[in-house]
Amino acid sequence: MEPRFRGTLWAIFILFTLPRLTCNMFCPSGCFCDFKGSVGCVGDTITDIPEQLPLHTYLLKLNGTNMNVIKEQSLANQDLLLRLSLTHSHLHTIHPQAFHAAPQLKSVKLSSNDLSTLPARVFSPLATLQQLHLDANKLEILAPDMFEGLVGLLDLDLSHNKLTSPASDLFDGLTNLTFLNLGRNSIRKLPPTIFNSLTELRRLMIYNNELEVLEVGIFDKLVNLAELKIHHNQISSLPPGVFWHLRNLKTLTLSSNRLVAVPDRSFYHMPTLSKLTLYNNPLLSLPDELMGYMPEIAEFYLFGTNLTTVPGNVFANMSGLLRLNFHLNDQLKELPPDLFCCLPKLMKLSLKSNNLSHLHPELFSNLPTVGILALSNNQLENLPENILRGLRGVLSIDLKNNQLKTLPGDTFTSNTALKGLSLSGNPWDCDCDIRDIARWIKLNEPVVLDSEDVMCHSPNYQLLRRVTSLRNDEFDFCDATTVRIPATSESHDLSQPFLRVRTQQQTSFAPS
């Protein structure tokens, strides 16, 4: 090898290993440094940004430290630092000029600290800032110009503070913002124009606040929004068409509010919606036109309402539904016959814990893909003949805790894929009418998951007998015309069946 060439190799070697050596040399105590330029420091001994950081540090993470103040000079000499994270450190004060020393910062995370106020325009020197996290602090008021000039900001997290009424121009100019989290504050009111600059916003979190109303037009400029979470507020009414400009919305959560009604066509113009939650609202009724065309909707949650019934077409446009959780509506009595007409992909239908006493014979006639049907904890007194016939793929049916006394013997015979059926908690009447279904249960005992607990409640002499213990020959008398001789006195032994007359065989009274 030529000496000159060998020299070059040495130079390259030194060039690449030097930073590594210097880094190891200068890594401050309490910190970990890696040769790529990231430094992490933890512990009470850290009270300020260490003066001697490896020269090429671009990422500095301080967590669980004693750095309560960012001083005017804290960030001096950190020309290459791009990402600063100072968390869980009881930070309460930032010097008004602190960020003048590091205008190149792209990310500042000050989460989980004690900040209750911020100096005027303290972040304004950070013209290329992309990420600002101030979540889990004690911020109550933010000056309207707090974020002025942060034109490159993409991600702003203000969640878990004490904000009550953000100024209408607080977010003006944040035209590149894609994520905004205002969740877990105490916001009562949002001005109608507060989001008007945020045309690039993809995700907006306003959950867990105290909003009582949404202003007309408040979301109209958010044409790129994919996720809007407004659950856990106090919203009692929606302005008409408040979501109509959100043509790219995929997720909308409105659960746990105080909605008693929603305006006509509230969920029109959302062709890409895939998840909608409305549960835990005291809804009394739904309008005849509510859901626009939404072929991609996969999940819909409508439980914990005060609905007594719903319009027959409420799910008609939700043709993509995979899971429909329409349960725990303790006043829901009635379902229209064609309610589930148009759900060609539905896999799970939960109607448990409603207050249904009758079902229309055609209710399930169009649900060939449903695998799970939950009807437990209702008031069902019977099931119409053939009601389950359309459920060709059903694997599991739960009928626990209803008021069923008997069922037609062929109720489940078309459900050839059935693997789990629950029938306990019903007052089965073990008289003649139960004969056929009792025989089916015995023949299909592995399918009836709770067969041990499927008990007779009547007649009295059968009380608490297992339905599976009923023998076929015990029903022989049923083929005869029977006459009941009513008890004439209190002394009649109710543990014995009534006497029956077998007319066919012309026998006389036959005590059993």
Ligand X SMILES: *[C@@H]1O[C@H](CO)[C@@H](O)[C@H](O)[C@H]1NC(C)=O
Q: Enumerate binding residues for ligand X (CB under 6 A).
A: 63-64, 87-88, 151-152, 176, 260, 268, 282, 284, 289, 291-293, 306, 313, 316-317, 330-331, 333, 355, 357, 379
Rounded to whole angstroms, the Cα distance separating 199 from 218 reads: 12
Rounded to whole angstroms, the Cα distance separating 162 from 64 reads: 22
**Smallest distance, ligand X to C-beta of residue 195, A:** 17
CA 312 to chain centre: 25
Output the CA torsion sign for 318, 273, 217, 285.
positive
Q: Toward ligand X, which CB reaches closer, 203 or 333?
A: 333
Rg (CA), the chain: 34
Rounded to whole angstroms, the Cα distance separating 452 from 467 reads: 8
Rounded to whole angstroms, the Cα distance separating 139 from 183 reads: 13
SS3 of residue 292 by DSSP: coil
Contact status, residue 298 vs residue 275, Cβ threshold 8 Å = yes
Q: Toward ligand X, which CB reaches closer, 148 or 431?
A: 148
**Smallest distance, ligand X to C-beta of residue 153, A:** 8
**Smallest distance, ligand X to C-beta of residue 216, A:** 21
Give Cα separations from 324 to 77, 192, 327, 365 (angstroms).
58, 33, 9, 16
Rounded to whole angstroms, the Cα distance separating 54 from 58 reads: 9
Q: Toward ligand X, which CB reaches closer, 308 or 512?
A: 308
**Smallest distance, ligand X to C-beta of residue 178, A:** 9
Q: Toward ligand X, which CB reaches closer, 119 or 282?
A: 282
**Smallest distance, ligand X to C-beta of residue 127, A:** 8
Rounded to whole angstroms, the Cα distance separating 63 from 434 reads: 69
**Smallest distance, ligand X to C-beta of residue 330, A:** 4
Q: Toward ligand X, which CB reaches closer, 140 or 330?
A: 330
For every residue of 292-317, which 3-state class applies, written as one string? CCCCCCCEEECCCCCCCCCCCCCCCC
Contact status, residue 427 vs residue 401, Cβ threshold 8 Å = no
Q: Toward ligand X, which CB reaches closer, 176 or 413?
A: 176
Q: Toward ligand X, which CB reaches closer, 285 or 369?
A: 285
**Smallest distance, ligand X to C-beta of residue 295, A:** 10
